[in-house]
Copies of this chain bind each other. A is one copy, B any other.
């Protein structure tokens, strides 16, 4: 694919498949989901390759690793700063586009040099709201 040419990484078919699966994916998939999806097209791909690729993409800032799911690695193909809505029932994660300029008072910074922030909004998604009695 054209757009991946200038990423400065070797474009193997496996990587291309991973990149295409991630491109525009709003589901914040886990490593295992990515592996499963790409396996359909490349039955011989190994988990190691998936993890390797994801780590490489992360290092180059092309994707972000999410941490709100303690049970597995999840990835966000959107590398631009944004925030997340998290459903406490089904663990669905949805992007929040707004920007929030949160200024932490000097006295609260504890000597940290702050580069950015990430807000997790916790709640219940529409599906789960209706599901529960």
Cross-chain contact B98 with A111 (CB below 8 angstroms): no
A121 and B114: CB pair below 8 A? yes
Tell me whether B123 and A113 are in contact (CB under 8 A).
yes
Chain A 51-92 per-residue mask, 1 if CB under 8 angstroms from chain B, else 0: 000000000000001011110010000000000010110000
User: Separation in Å of the A110 CB from the closest CB of chain B?
Assistant: 5
Residues of A in contact (CB 8 Å), total 37
Interface majority SS on A: helix, strand, loop or mixed?
mixed
- List A84-114 residues whose CB lies under 8 Å from chain B: 85, 87-88, 94, 96-98, 100, 102, 104-105, 108-114
Minimum Cβ distance to chain B for residue A92 (Å):
9
**Cross-interface CB contact of A96 among B87, B98, B108, B124, cutoff 8 Å:** B108
With A117-B120, A117-B121 known as contacts, the answer to whether A126 contacts B102 (CB < 8 A) is no
**Chain B residues closer than 8 Å to A97, beta-carbon distance:** 108
